[in-house]
Amino acid sequence: MLIISLFLTGCAKEDNDIIIKPEKEVFDFIVTDSQRDKINSSRGEQYEISDPVPELHLAGNIYAIDRFEIRGDNTLNFTRKGFSVNMDRKIILFNTEEKTEKKYEEFKLLAMVYDYTYIENSTAVGLFKEIGLWPVYSFFTEVKLNNHTQGLYHFIEDPFEYFIEQKNASFIIRRGYEHVVKKYSISPDSQYDTAEYIARFKKIYSNLTRYSGQQMYDTVSAYMDLEQYFAKLSIDMLIKNGDYTDEVIFYTKIKDNKEVFGVFPWDLDDIFADQPHEIGNSWAVGAIFGPREYSSMDDIIADVGSKLLFSIEDDLDYKIAKDSFLYQQYLTTLRSVIEKIDLTAIDKIFDYTYEHIDPFYANDSIIAQSRYDVDKTSHDLFVTNLNGKRQMLKDRRSWILQELNIQQNQ
C-alpha cells in the first residue's frame, strides 16, 4: 500500500500530464504578503522574487517555478508589474492557433500599462503574424497575486527560448540604443563563442560608412536577413511605431546556406504614435554619421527627405533613408507588405482583437486595474478606440500606396 501511495503521489506531481487551454484560465501566482507589497509598491527596480520562490496556480493545479522576475523598463514605475517566468518544468498549453499542444518553460507576462484600451499589442502582433514575423505563441489572460487580480496581461512565449530550442538558433541578441548588445543568449550547441557573434553583429554597423548602393546592400545582407528587416520597418511605418530602436531581437538562422541574423519585433507598446522617438531625444540617436538632432518632423525631412520610414533614429535605418539604392529595395518590400495587409487582413486582425479582449471588459475587477495604467479604460473607450484605429490603418494603408506610386523608382 505504501509503494502504491508513493507511486500515485509521484504521478500527481507530473505537471506535463495536464493540458491547459490557457485563454480560459487565470495565472495566479502565490507569493508572501511582503513580496506582494513590494511588487506593487516598488518603482524603477528590476529584481527576482525568491526566498521563497512563488508558485503558480493554474487550471486547478499547482506548478513549481524556478525563477520569477519583475521585468520591463519604464513599466517598472507602475503598480502593475510585468513578469518573466521560468517554470521548474515545462507546462503543456493548448496552442489555439496551431490547434496542438506545446510545452512552455519560459514566458513573459506583459502588463501593457502604456497600451491604451489594450488593443495595441494585439494589433501589432496580428500584423507581424500576417507577414510571418511573429512565430511565438501569445494570448491575453488575467494575472493574479494571491487570488487578487492584477488585471489584463499579454502572455508571450519567451523568444530567446523559442529561437534556440525550436529554431536551432546559435545566438540571439536584443539590440539597444547606439546598436549596443542589450541582452544576448548563446546555444550550448553553438560552434562559435559569444565574441564571434557579437563581432558579426557589430560589422553591420561598422560597414555603414564604408559602402553604398549595391555594395552596401550585399554587405549588410551577408550578416542579416535584410528582407526581414525591411518587412519589420514596413509594419513599423504602417502602425506608426514610435519607439523601436531597442525593441528588436536578432537571432541566427540559415539563409542561402549561410548563417545570418533573422529579425523579430519586440515590446510593441508605443504604436499609433504622433511622432518618432528621435524627435526631442538626441541622446537616443545613432552617432556613426556624426551628431544628429531633430526637434520636429521638419528637421527630419530637411535631413533625409519625405521618406516612408517612420523613424531614422537607428544608424541602419538612417542609412536606408539616405542611400537611394537601399531605399528603393526597402520600398519594394514595403509594397509587398502593404499589398499583403489588405483591408480584409486589417478587418481580420481587429475582429480577432475584439473577440479575444472584449470578454475581459465584462469583468469589472480586471478593468478597474487600468486605474494604475497611463490611461484608465472602459468598454466604451475600448470599442471606440478599436473602431477608430481600424479605420486609421485602412486610411494609412491607402496613403502609403499612393506615396509608393510616387516614390518608387524615382
Give pLDDT tens digits along the chain (410 positions). Answer: 444 443 444 343 444 457 787 778 999 999 999 999 999 999 999 999 999 999 999 999 999 999 999 998 888 999 999 999 999 999 999 888 888 898 999 999 999 999 989 999 999 999 999 999 999 999 999 999 999 999 999 999 999 999 999 999 999 999 999 999 999 999 999 999 999 999 999 999 999 999 999 999 999 999 999 999 999 999 999 999 998 999 999 999 999 999 999 999 998 888 999 999 999 999 999 999 999 999 999 999 999 999 999 999 999 999 999 999 999 999 999 999 999 999 999 999 999 999 999 999 999 999 999 999 999 999 999 999 999 999 999 999 999 999 999 999 76
Q: Give the span between the Cα atoms of 270 and 400, in whole angstroms.
A: 20
Half-sphere CA count of 56, side-chain side, radius 13 A: 26
DSSP notation for 298-322: HHHHHHH-S-S-S---SHHHHHHHH
Q: 329: how many CB neighbours lie within 10 A of its CB?
A: 19
For helices 226-239 and 213-221, the axis angle rounded to 10 degrees is 100
Quick check: 128 and 235 in contact, CB under 8 A?
A: yes
The pLDDT, as a whole number, for residue 74 is 83
Quick check: 174 and 248 in contact, CB under 8 A?
A: yes
Q: Give the span between the Cα atoms of 154 and 144, in whole angstroms.
A: 13
Q: Name 136's Cβ contacts closer than 8 Å, sequence gap at least 6.
A: 156, 157, 158, 159, 162, 264
Query: Coil, strand or helix: which one is 354?
Result: helix
Q: Give the span between the Cα atoms of 267 and 70, in whole angstroms.
A: 15
Q: Give the span between the Cα atoms of 360 and 371, in whole angstroms.
A: 15
- Hey, what's the cell of 272? 499609433
- Hey, what's the cell of 49? 522574487
- Hey, what's the cell of 207? 560597414
Q: What is the pTM of this model?
A: 0.93
- Among 105, 245, 246, 242, smallest CA distance to 183 is for 246
Query: Coil, strand or helix: which one is 382?
Result: helix
The pLDDT, as a whole number, for residue 280 is 96
The pLDDT, as a whole number, for residue 19 is 79
Quick check: 250 and 173 in contact, CB under 8 A?
A: yes
Quick check: 130 and 339 in contact, CB under 8 A?
A: no
The pLDDT, as a whole number, for residue 9 is 40
Give the pairing of strands 55-58 and 26-30. antiparallel
The pLDDT, as a whole number, for residue 12 is 39
- Hey, what's the cell of 136? 511565438
Q: Give the span between the Cα atoms of 179 and 128, in whole angstroms.
A: 23
Q: Where are the domains of the chain?
A: 16-157+343-394, 162-340
Rounded (5°) CA angle 331-334-338: 140
Q: Name 153's Cβ contacts closer than 8 Å, sequence gap at least 6.
A: 27, 109, 110, 111, 112, 140, 141, 142, 143
